[in-house]
Amino acid sequence: MKSKFIMIASSKGGVGKSTAALGIARGLCRMGKRVLVADLDFGNACLDILLGVQDSIICTLQDAVTGKGSVADALVKIPVTAEKKKRRGARGKKPFSEAGELWLLPSSVGGAGCVAGFEGESAFTDDGVCSALTEAAEAADAEYVIIDTGAGVNSAVGAAAAIADTALVVSGHMPVALRSAQTTVARLSSYGVGDIRLLINSFDASGVIDDRRKGLFSVIDESGAALAGVIPYDYGLLLTHEGIASPGGEAEGAFLNIARRLCGESVPVFEGIKRIRKLKKKIYQ
Ligand SMILES: Nc1ncnc2c1ncn2[C@@H]1O[C@H](COP(=O)(O)OP(=O)(O)OP(=O)(O)O)[C@@H](O)[C@H]1O
Ligand SMILES: [Mg+2]
């Protein structure tokens, strides 16, 4: 099966790339899809921790690329809970099928691909990374491969862009994040990524008080990319990342909406996100 590769990018740090990578991967999985999430943040790999499997890693993407291990040994299967049969889709029409599968291709921290001159660096090429991603997608029989990338200008972004069918550029609605989103869109476009979309994260509708704070329409216009979705600010995500709570807040619904759009469904921007829909008048500035 040919997998669909979706990279998550932003040259600005801390805007929610890893959160989005996992949220969308989980959303696709809830829809019954087989999903591989690959950690290409070679400087600050973190998906293993966010998924709670850091103690199960025996081999990484870097080991596979530099010949110290195999892709098969690097892949980690993440346990997922099946949706209850009675639970309905967001429109209340059709129930989701059985949960899909979720796999992780973890990365080493601060090793090959990150530190110049690191042992084995010569074997560590964009082609090597792309081959490992393709092999991992085949081994996991993944329909979707979600690639998390790091902030800044780094080689992993080039490798991800070389294989990506779609790029989701994450931005907040503050000016510094928006400028970085514009730069990222331009760079990915120069790398030849054809389908580039914007993902607005940590959207705080109640914070859009007047035209001194950018509303949704201004952010979408200025980014230069079509909208993939809007994720509300959700304090529960912080607790989820610390392993204190399970996923399940409003952000999870927004990630599911994005997953459905990526699968070709037409889903209104704030479907199922009641708190934001109540503030409708404030957000469309
Ligand atoms: N929608 C949201 N609501 C509340 N908190 C969020 C949201 N999205 C992300 N966060 C929090 O923001 C912080 C940064 O998120 P994350 O690590 O996903 O960013 P990143 O872009 O991957 O960072 P880096 O550039 O370092 O890789 C985390 O603590 C995360 O829990
Ligand atoms: Mg990250």
- Domain harbouring 139, CATH code: 3.40.50.300
- Range with the poorest average pLDDT among 23-32, 80-89, 135-144, 201-210: 80-89
* Binding site membership of 14 for ligand 1 (Cβ less than 6 Å): yes
Strands 76-78 and 101-105: antiparallel
Task: Report the separation in Å between the CA atom of 41 and the middle of ligand 2, taken as the mean of its atom positions.
Answer: 7
Task: Report the separation in Å between the CA atom of 19 and the middle of ligand 2, taken as the mean of its atom positions.
Answer: 7
Atom of ligand 1 nearest to the CA of 150: 27
Ligand minimally distant from the alpha carbon of residue 12:
1
Contact status, residue 100 vs residue 80, Cβ threshold 8 Å: yes
- What is the DSSP annotation of the chain? -PPEEEEEE-SSTTSSHHHHHHHHHHHHHHTT-EEEEEEE-SSS--HHHHTT-GGG-S--HHHHHTTSS-HHHH-EEEP-PPPPTTPBPTTSSSB--S--EEEEE---SSSTTTSTT-TTGGG--HHHHHHHHHHHHHHTT-SEEEEEE-SSS-HHHHHHHHH-SEEEEEE-SSHHHHHHHHHHHHHHHHTT-SEEEEEEEEE-GGG--STTS--HHHHHHHHTSEEEEEEE--HHHHHHHTTSS-S-SHHHHHHHHHHHHHTT----TTTT-HHHHTTHHHH--
Query: Which of 48, 237, 239, 257 is the pocket-test mutation for ligand 1 (most atoms within 8 Å of CB)?
Result: 237
Contact status, residue 207 vs residue 236, Cβ threshold 8 Å: no
Q: Quick one: average pLDDT of 25-49?
A: 95
Task: Report the separation in Å between the CA atom of 13 and the middle of ligand 1, taken as the mean of its atom positions.
Answer: 9
* Binding site membership of 203 for ligand 1 (Cβ less than 6 Å): no
Q: How many domains would you assign to the chain? A: 1
Mean pLDDT value across the chain: 86
Q: Is 31 exposed, middle or buried (0-12, 13-18, 19+ CB in 10 A)?
A: buried
Q: Quick one: average pLDDT of 229-257?
A: 84
Summarize pLDDT for 111-125 with one digit per residue, the tens: 666 655 555 566 788
Tell me the residue range of the domain where 127 lies. 4-283
Contact status, residue 15 vs residue 172, Cβ threshold 8 Å: yes
Summarize pLDDT for 161-185 with one digit per residue, the tens: 999 999 999 998 888 888 899 999 9
pLDDT at 153 over 80: no
Q: What is the pLDDT of residue 174?
A: 81
Q: Quick one: average pLDDT of 39-44?
A: 93
The pair phi, psi for residue 62, each rounded to 5°, is -60, -40
pLDDT at 97 over 60: no
Residue at 130: amino acid letter: C
How far apart are alpha carbons 1 and 206 in whole angstroms? 44
Percent of the chain with pLDDT over 90: 58
pLDDT at 211 over 80: no
* Binding site membership of 238 for ligand 1 (Cβ less than 6 Å): yes
* Binding site membership of 231 for ligand 1 (Cβ less than 6 Å): yes
pLDDT at 86 over 50: no
pLDDT at 199 over 90: yes
How far apart are alpha carbons 77 and 39 in whole angstroms? 14
* Binding site membership of 152 for ligand 1 (Cβ less than 6 Å): no
